[in-house]
């Protein structure tokens, strides 16, 4: 078992994640401007209207022509631009905007924001935005020494205190040849942060524990017993809970999926390892979502060496032993979190889900047809509780995960204090 840092997101955002959102994308001077071109594409593909504003320094790295072609809108670069009917582009740009996203944000521009300086169109627009309905998201990009400088740290702390959301930075190779903190997040990461920003914070202050993926039960050093779970549904639930404001811990079986940003991840292999990771954590969480497809049995004995096939010999008989029941164990805790089980069935979906809910002693079971969803990006969920059944319907797994998170938030006892 090991801690795994967040990885870069690989999947595209659903096409309607930012539908109807109007964003001002501000570019300041820095080599990371090349990432802003891809960011513009990603935001537009997610449904946003993107209005690009560039500083004079940004134009040294990427052209306004490029950004106009990608955004489909004329680019603003000067506070003296007369295209605005009232010649007040710094006012007009943010009046209909939902957010200003500055990416890249240089050390100089962050200092301007911290001290209220406004000597170019972008800094003027940030200062003049209606703060109660137009958010400010800032993605720093600079050399590692500039990022570590006390003045920069003070300025970043100040803009955060003033209400800006600071996205990143990341650590890694820098254009100057040095390695360290200060890299701007990748375009898909910033896109996901913008999407998350607009999600309702229905789990703010809550702690959520999620299991995901299959388990792998070894037979010998090269063979094992597992199942076809991809982990995609559980990872979507972890991401949706984090978007909803929760502090999320994800315990994952062997899957090749990137960690959702802002989620703490523990990797395990076997059911017993998953059990041993979950049980000490569960009591400190408000919600436990057992999405993992945990193997019910394991080989009673694991061979020390590969079992060899010999001519004329029958296949070996493998004795099986039961694995611990993680969901039931959490539900039996003296003060359990709100427990949500998942049931992946091949037939009689509602019947088996009802039986599982009663057997495990949990308030909610989410059922799906395993063979129809394993490895896919879409799913169909059935909610089963003491009152009966309700379909969430067919959809992509992230959209369903968000709907499930809203349902869980609605069901949490109103009087229950966050842990």
Domains annotated for the chain, with CATH where assigned, are 10-197 (3.40.50.1950), 207-303+311-411 (3.40.50.10300)
Of the candidates 278, 268, 279, the one whose C-alpha atom is nearest the C-alpha of residue 218 is 268
Residue with structure tokens 């972008």? 122
Q: How far apart are CA 377 and CA 95, in angstroms?
A: 37
pLDDT at 59 over 90: yes
Q: What is the pLDDT of residue 25?
A: 98
pLDDT at 43 over 70: yes
Q: How far apart are CA 292 and CA 331, in angstroms?
A: 16
pLDDT at 44 over 80: yes
Residue 210 token pair: 């999620």
Q: What are phi and psi of 272, to 5 degrees?
A: -65, -35
Of the candidates 288, 294, 380, 382, the one whose C-alpha atom is nearest the C-alpha of residue 340 is 288
The angle subtended at Cα 196 by Cα 192 and Cα 197, nearest 5°, is 120
Q: How far apart are CA 381 and CA 348, in angstroms?
A: 14
pLDDT digits (tens, 9 = 90+) for 120-169: 999 999 999 999 999 999 999 999 999 999 999 999 999 999 999 999 99
163 burial via Cβ count (<10 Å: 0-12, 13-18, 19+): exposed
pLDDT digits (tens, 9 = 90+) for 2-36: 333 344 444 555 668 999 999 999 999 999 999 99
Helix orientation angle between 397-411 and 232-243, rounded to the nearest 10 degrees: 50
pLDDT at 416 over 80: no
Mean pLDDT of the chain: 90
Q: What is the pLDDT of residue 8?
A: 41
Q: Which residues pair with 382 in a beta bridge?
A: 367, 391
Tell me which of 386 and 281 has the higher pLDDT. 281
The pTM (predicted TM-score) of the whole model is: 0.86
Structural contact between residues 384 and 408, judged by C-beta atoms closer than 8 angstroms: no
Q: What are the contacts of 240-243 at 24+ separation with CB within 8 A?
A: 240/199, 240/398, 240/401, 240/402, 240/404, 240/405, 241/203, 241/208, 241/210, 241/287, 241/289, 241/405, 242/196, 243/195, 243/196, 243/199, 243/402, 243/405
Mean pLDDT of 338-363: 85
As a whole number of Å, the CA-based R_g of the chain is 25
User: What is the pairing mode between strands 179-183 and 224-225?
Assistant: unpaired
Mean pLDDT of 325-353: 88
Secondary structure of residue 217 in the 3-state scheme: strand
- pLDDT confidence of 47, banded at 50, 70, 90? very high
Kindly report which listed range (15-19, 230-234, 320-324, 337-341) carries the lowest average pLDDT score. 15-19
Active site residues: 176
User: What is the pairing mode between strands 207-212 and 247-252?
Assistant: parallel
Q: How far apart are CA 62 and CA 276, in angstroms?
A: 51
Kindly report which listed range (132-136, 171-175, 276-280, 407-411) carries the lowest average pLDDT score. 171-175
């Amino acid at each position: 078992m090991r801690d795994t840092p967040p990885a870069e997101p690989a999947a595209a955002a659903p096409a309607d994640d930012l539908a109807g959102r109007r964003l001002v994308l501000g570019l300041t001077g820095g080599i990371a401007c090349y990432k802003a071109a891809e960011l513009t594409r990603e935001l537009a593909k997610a449904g946003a209207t993107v209005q690009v504003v560039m500083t004079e320094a940004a134009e040294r790295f990427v052209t306004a022509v490029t950004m106009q072609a990608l955004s489909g809108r004329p680019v603003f670069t000067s506070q003296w631009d007369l295209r605005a009917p009232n010649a007040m582009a710094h006012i007009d740009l943010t009046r209909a905007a939902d957010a200003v996203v500055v990416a890249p944000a240089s050390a100089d521009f962050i200092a301007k924001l911290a001290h209220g300086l406004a000597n170019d169109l972008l800094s003027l627009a940030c200062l003049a935005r209606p703060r109660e309905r137009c958010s400010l998201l800032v993605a720093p990009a600079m050399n590692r020494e500039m990022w570590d400088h006390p003045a920069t740290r003070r300025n970043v702390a100040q803009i955060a205190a003033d209400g800006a959301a600071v996205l990143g930075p990341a650590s890694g190779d820098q254009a100057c040849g040095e390695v360290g903190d200060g890299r701007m997040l990748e375009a898909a990461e910033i896109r996901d942060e913008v999407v998350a920003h607009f999600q309702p914070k229905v789990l703010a202050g809550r702690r959520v524990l999620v299991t995901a993926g299959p388990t792998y039960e070894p037979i010998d050093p090269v063979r094992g017993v597992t199942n076809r779970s991809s982990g995609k549904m559980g990872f979507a639930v972890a991401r949706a809970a984090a978007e909803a404001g929760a502090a999320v811990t994800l315990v994952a079986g062997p899957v090749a999926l990137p960690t959702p940003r802002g989620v703490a991840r523990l990797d395990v292999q076997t059911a017993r390892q998953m059990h041993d990771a979950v049980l000490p954590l569960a009591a400190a969480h408000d919600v436990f979502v057992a999405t993992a497809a945990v193997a019910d049995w394991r080989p009673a004995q694991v061979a020390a060496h590969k079992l060899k096939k010999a001519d004329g010999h029958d296949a070996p008989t493998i004795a099986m032993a039961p694995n611990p029941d993680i969901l039931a164990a959490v539900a039996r805790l003296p003060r359990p979190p709100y427990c949500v089980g998942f049931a992946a069935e091949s037939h009689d979906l509602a019947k088996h889900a009802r039986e599982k809910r009663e057997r495990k002693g949990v308030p909610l079971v989410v059922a799906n047809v395993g063979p129809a969803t394993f490895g896919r990006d879409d799913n169909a969920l059935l909610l089963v509780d003491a009152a009966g059944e309700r379909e969430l319907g067919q959809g992509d797994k992230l959209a369903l995960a968000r709907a499930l998170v809203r349902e869980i938030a609605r069901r949490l006892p109103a009087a229950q204090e966050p842990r």
